[in-house]
Amino acid sequence: MGDMVKDKVVVVTGAGAGIGRDFAKGFAEHGAKVVVNDLARDKETGKPLAEIVVDEIRAAGGQAVAAVESVAEWDSAHKIVQAALDYFGRIDGVVNNAGIVRDRFVFNMSKEEWEAVIGVHLNGSFYMTRAAAPHFKAQGSGAYVHMTSTSGLIGNFGQANYSAAKMGLLGLSKSIAIDMAKFNVRSNCIAPWAWTAMTATIPADTPEQKARVEVLKKMEARKVAPLAVYLISDRANHVSGQIFGARANELYLFSQPRMIRSMHRGDGWTPEMIADEAMPAFEASFFENVPSMKLISWDPV
């Protein structure tokens, strides 16, 4: 047991399984009081997964309470934050981890598949942010951690909905960091790599694919938790508006969009001039469109 976030009250969404579960347990191990949010239930018993995780935390000597509500609706998201206030009297951190996938190539993606993923990842993260924000503002402290993905930061096949939501979180996080800096409220993103039920849909039919999957299983969800705990802690008071990654024993800091080339014409541009002069100059700095697995091709360590 540590005390990095001792007595802080932290809400973790999507904490019934996978990364979220390890986050909830990690925060509890380091002294936080945790609101474990998840809508899912155990397939056999029907018991909410959040309550199972709460039982595990309490059995280990930690403090936690379950909030079986959806992040994807304004009212229910507010109920999750209210659970922190009702049970623990305050709120200090929100980890926007809840997520679903509905993978489909963009030319086949349905309206429902788009809206479901945007609803949980992007709308849900805003609703949770908005529910906690007045409390953070009033007390002059608070921290958000949002889960982004290399599917958005770099790109991936068949994930237009997920990628768009995950890139949207960067804009949300940056806006929070700017809007709430004067209230000592911080916001950062983590791109996690972890082998969980959500990623276990990767095909493993050929011997090569099976070998790859065994390597990917090294990416334990619990190895992402220390970064989230740190970012909510007071030791990270100077860290806001940044994008981090965690994969097995590696940590990353990601770049953010910046202007990298410029050209100027005193008399302005025509479309032809852009084609003849500007674009040839810019093309040397173009980014190749590749899926994230091609850019991050080395095994986790």
| Amino acid 204: pLDDT | 66
Upper half-sphere CA count for residue 260 (Cβ side, 13 Å): 11
| Amino acid 36: pLDDT | 98
The rounded percent of the chain whose pLDDT value lies above 90 is 85
Which residue type sits at 63?
Q
Q: 193-225: per-residue pLDDT in tens?
A: 876 655 666 666 777 767 666 666 677 888 999
CATH number at residue 183: 3.40.50.720
Residue 263 forms part of a structural domain: no
Segments forming the whole domain that contains residue 223 = 9-256
Query: How many domains are there within the chain?
Result: 1
Residue 2 forms part of a structural domain: no
**Can you tell me the distance from the alpha carbon of 141 to that of 132, in angstroms, rounded to the nearest whole number?**
11
Q: Where are the alpha helices (DSSP H) in the chain?
A: 18-29, 49-59, 74-88, 111-118, 124-139, 150-153, 160-179, 207-216, 225-232, 271-273, 279-283, 292-295
Residue 20 forms part of a structural domain: yes
| Amino acid 165: pLDDT | 98
| Amino acid 215: pLDDT | 67
Residue 146 forms part of a structural domain: yes
C-alpha Rg value of the chain to the nearest Å:
21
Neighbours of 3 (CB within 10 A): 10
**Can you tell me the distance from the alpha carbon of 274 to that of 84, in angstroms, rounded to the nearest whole number?**
55
pTM for the model? 0.93
Locate 85 and state its tokens. Answer: 């206030």
| Amino acid 6: pLDDT | 97
**Can you tell me the distance from the alpha carbon of 163 to that of 3, in angstroms, rounded to the nearest whole number?**
35
Write down the catalytic residue from 144, 162, 230, 252: 162
Residue ranges of the chain with pLDDT lower than 50? none
Residue 250 forms part of a structural domain: yes
Residue 204 forms part of a structural domain: yes
Residue 80 forms part of a structural domain: yes
Q: Determine whether 87 is an active site residue.
A: no
Instruction: Count Cβ neighbours within 10 Å for each residue of 222-249 and write b for 16 or more, e otherwise.
Output: ebbbbbbbbbbbeebeebbbbbbbbbbe
- Per the CB < 8 A criterion, the answer to whether 133 and 122 are in contact is no
**Can you tell me the distance from the alpha carbon of 235 to that of 227, in angstroms, rounded to the nearest whole number?**
12
Residue 38 forms part of a structural domain: yes
| Amino acid 197: pLDDT | 58
**CA distances (Å), origin 180, targets 139, 148, 151, 175:** 12, 20, 28, 8
| Amino acid 196: pLDDT | 61
